[in-house]
């Protein structure tokens, strides 16, 4: 019969392996990723410009399987993006260099 002294380390090792599997699964490109950033809106971003961004985002994001929320207040944008890892990286690459805002900071 197995002694508690032997089963204890085995249990710990199973737990460690499980965490490793979990981590590997989280790195899968098909998983959903979330990215949140804040930035300062450009001085010329009015209601019309905001509507243009919204339309552009809605159209592109739908095709890429990305959902999220975009807030503007106090001269700052806050955006949450959720979707496949590669799609999030690609879209954020474009957003980060968009001149309609500046100093994007991923939280
Ligand atoms: C605050 C802000 C948020 C934006 N969010 C998105 C977005 O969620 N998805 C997107 O495709 N473009 C977004 N854009 C626009 C992109 O910066 C870029 O102009 C656009 O993706 C280019 O699309 P295109 O390659 O189809 O021309 C955002 C721009 C700003 C300033």
Question: What is the tens place of the pLDDT at every residue in 24-45?
Answer: 445 555 689 999 999 999 999 9
- Measure the CA dihedral 59/65/67/72, to 10°: -40
CA of 15 to the centre of ligand 1 (A): 42
Q: Assign domain 32-106 one CATH number from 3.50.50.60, 3.40.50.300, 2.60.40.1120, 3.30.70.100.
A: 3.30.70.100
Share of the chain above pLDDT 90, in %: 68
Q: Is the distance from the beta carbon of residue 41 to the nearest atom of ligand 1 less than 6 Å?
A: no
Q: Is the distance from the beta carbon of residue 88 to the nearest atom of ligand 1 less than 6 Å?
A: no
Q: Whose CA is nearest to atom 10 of ligand 1?
A: 57
Question: What is the tens place of the pLDDT at every residue in 3-14?
Answer: 444 433 433 443
pTM here is: 0.78
- Domain limits, the chain: 32-106
């Amino acid at each position: 019969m197995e002694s508690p002294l032997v089963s204890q380390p085995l249990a710990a090792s199973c737990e460690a392996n499980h965490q490793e599997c979990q981590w590997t699964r989280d790195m899968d490109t098909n998983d959903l990723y979330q990215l949140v950033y804040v930035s300062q809106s450009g001085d010329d971003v009015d209601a019309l410009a905001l509507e243009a961004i919204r339309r552009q985002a809605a159209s592109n994001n739908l095709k890429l399987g990305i959902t999220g929320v975009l807030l503007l207040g106090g001269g700052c944008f806050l955006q949450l993006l959720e979707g496949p890892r590669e799609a999030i990286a690609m879209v954020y690459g474009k957003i980060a260099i968009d001149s309609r805002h500046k100093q994007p900071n991923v939280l």
